Amino acid sequence: MQTDGAPLAVAVAQFAPGDDAADNLAEIERLAGVAASRGARLVVFPEYSSFFTPEPGRAWVDAAQPVRGPFTTALRALADRLGVHVVAGMIERLPDEADRVANTVVAVAPGEGVVARYRKLHLYDAFGQRESEWVAPGAIAEPETFAVGGIRFGLQTCYDVRFPEVSRRIVDAGADAICMPAEWVRGPLKEAHWRTLTTARAIENTVYVLAADHAPPVGAGNSMVVDPMGVEVATIGEQTDVAVAWLSTDRIAEVRRRNPALALRRFSVVVRDDA
């Protein structure tokens, strides 16, 4: 039985979502079951877990759902059955957008349903891609967080990791750990960027980062849990799998005594007027 202050088992689950929503949910249920059987109380799945095609397009709009639609209803039933929190990316239907969707992450708690959500702020208009053609950026708002076993979690998505201010605002909101669903596309040096940036966000904020990517061939894989000192305490390679790690508030406190970077900082994050 998990108690506040005791190490908390969490998992990152890596798979390659496709354009069959039922197949995606079946894989989520299978992997969540594996994670729960290993003791995990929280499981983080990739970005676009509800539906994905390698190229965005009209199919994304057609597959979009409201936050409290069939996808999250299934996640809620899964969370209730297994007694675990589930974090996953989905394509969200926007009532005021006929041709674009939101790239949204939801956190679902057993017995409570959706307890936090996040719409991706920084869209992947880089490396030859144009996510913004079919996805609307999220509005800047106060980060939503949720707690499991005495540890508070925040949410961000994939390309956001290249913008350190996103993680810093989440930590300023009280998070001890960041859940980061991703669809980190493979490419020259992309795997190196993934590992470096994910580790940097953990080190500079002295928090855990739970990064769940798509498995190849489109995604880079390498889902991982990084601790506040930048140590990869759990890692998946290129395969579909689950990796479990134990988070500790004592570890966070120990690292922050040794490296009080948050207390010593002299700058705050300010939202741009034109953002």
Q: Is 155 exposed, middle or buried (0-12, 13-18, 19+ CB in 10 A)?
A: buried
For this structure, is 190 an active site residue?
A: no
Q: What 3-state DSSP class applies to 200?
A: helix
Place of tokens 């605002």: 169
- Consecutive H or E run containing 30: helix 21-37
For this structure, is 120 an active site residue?
A: yes
Spot the catalytic one: 92, 131, 158, 183: 158
Spot the catalytic one: 47, 131, 183, 204: 47
CA distance 94 to 97: 5
- Consecutive H or E run containing 107: strand 101-109
DSSP 114-182: EEEEEE-SS----TT--GGGTEEPPPP-PPP-EEETTEEEEE--GGGGG-HHHHHHHHHTT-SEEEEE-
The backbone region for 83, taken as left when phi is positive above 0, alpha when psi lies in -120 to 50, beta otherwise, is: left
CA distance 10 to 39: 8
* Contact call for residues 212 and 182 (beta carbons, < 8 A): yes
Spot the catalytic one: 27, 92, 120, 204: 120
Count CB-CB contacts under 10 A for residue 1.
3
Place of tokens 């005594």: 257
For this structure, is 47 an active site residue?
A: yes
User: Which residues carry out catalysis?
Assistant: 47, 120, 158
